[in-house]
Structure 1
Amino acid sequence: MSHVKLVESPPNMLADYKGETIDFICEDCEILKRIKPAALMEEHGNLSMPSLPALVAKSLGCKRTESTVYNRCKMHYHFSPDEWAKRMGYVNPQEHRKDALLFSDLREWHRLYAHCSCGRKSEIDAVKLKKALGEDAPVSGASSVLRCRKCGLKGLANIVVTSLARG
């Protein structure tokens, strides 16, 4: 009989993280850092997620990580306002607003534009997004799949719907 014991990975580890990047912020030091999980794994190994902000702050040269009482390091994870509201329970992600514009509401004279926070604005193909997300998806949800070609940010674009001028 084999005496093999299955060992489960502790919860909330870096290797379990499924996102594209991990964002850190420290308002006191004015640091906003976006790091890929693979780079963190290479530098620090498979650590628990709660221990990462302090290690990232220390690697960025923060002297406050050495203090345990006064003037402590306040580096923490950064989330978009929508993600923060979902995590805090203010927004139910399953619940759609009743007045939300759906892809099924769009007509051939409507045009969609993505406005990124970096200043880039571009027209986006409503037909492709409708096929990818579905007719009953809200148009505002398209920002979650769009990535800016200028700055590389994903999920933060504002979607603007316009109509062609009557001719």
Structure 2
Amino acid sequence: MKSSTLSDYRGQKIKVICEDCDILKTFEGDALFNDHGDADMPGLLGDLCKTLGCNRSKEGFYNRCSLVYYFTHEEWMAKSGMVSREAYEIALGKRLADLQEWDVLHGRCRCGRRGPLNKSSLARRYGPNARLKELESKLLCKECKKYDSVIDISSLPR
């Protein structure tokens, strides 16, 4: 398996975390590429460790630096090819009538805006048999004015 390099992360943010040193830092992929060239990602951690001022080494066995790349839960799921239960049910064609009373809908636009959706008014407007996947293309974002939203399902807290 080919190791990833910095050229794979150009234009993206690269996050690192060290729980021993209480470090959570974000780097720009383009800036790192300009500074370090097309370095391999595992080897780059040693250089980033020195950049952040860690006095531990990435080599050796004892008192070793524990700096690693940081991924949010959503990023980790996307990289591993997993989807959430809600996304799976929406992809299967879950309808408004299939939702339980404790299910809460939120619309999430690609621009980052997120807001609650009223299930009863969606059912009145589009009918109870409307599929959630079809409704995604009918949601207009109030901020960017695009029809590019995703519906998330969550449960009310107990």
TM-score category (smaller protein): 0.5 to 0.7
1:121-140 pair list within 5 angstroms: 123=115, 127-128=139-140, 131-133=147-149, 137=150, 139-140=151-152
- Residues 122 and 85 of structure 1: CA distance in aligned 2, closer, same or farther (over 3 Å): closer
The alpha carbon displacement at 1:21 in A equals 0.3
In the alignment, which residue of structure 1 is the partner of 2:88?
97
Q: TM-score, normalised by structure 1?
A: 0.52
Pair 1:46-2:62 in alignment: no
The alpha carbon displacement at 1:93 in A equals 3.4
Secondary structure of 1:35's partner?
strand
Matched residue type, 2:83: P
Q: Deviations over 1:136-166 (max 9, x none)?
A: x5x13xxxxxxxxxxxxxxxxxx889xxxxx
In the alignment, which residue of structure 1 is the partner of 2:48?
56
Q: Percent identity?
A: 31
- The runs of 5 or more residues in structure 2 that have no matched partner are 97-103, 118-135
- Residues 83 and 124 of structure 1: CA distance in aligned 2, closer, same or farther (over 3 Å): same
In the alignment, which residue of structure 2 is the partner of 1:65?
57
1:1-167 pair list within 5 angstroms: 12-17=4-9, 20-65=12-57, 68-87=60-79, 92-93=82-83, 96-98=87-89, 105=96, 112=106, 123=115, 127-128=139-140, 131-133=147-149, 137=150, 139-140=151-152
- The runs of 5 or more residues in structure 1 that have no matched partner are 1-9, 115-120, 141-158, 162-167
Secondary structure of 1:34's partner?
strand
The alpha carbon displacement at 1:20 in A equals 1.9
Distance 1:45 1:72 in 2: 25
The alpha carbon displacement at 1:42 in A equals 2.0
Q: TM-score, normalised by structure 2?
A: 0.55
Distance 2:35 2:116 in 1: 38
The alpha carbon displacement at 1:84 in A equals 2.7
Distance 2:58 2:3 in 1: 27
Say how many residue pairs are matched.
Answer: 119
The alpha carbon displacement at 1:131 in A equals 2.2
Q: Deviations over 1:20-55 (max 9, x none)?
A: 201100000010011110111122221011112221
Two-structure CA RMSD over aligned residues (Å) = 4.2
Contact 1:28 1:74 in 2 (8 A): yes
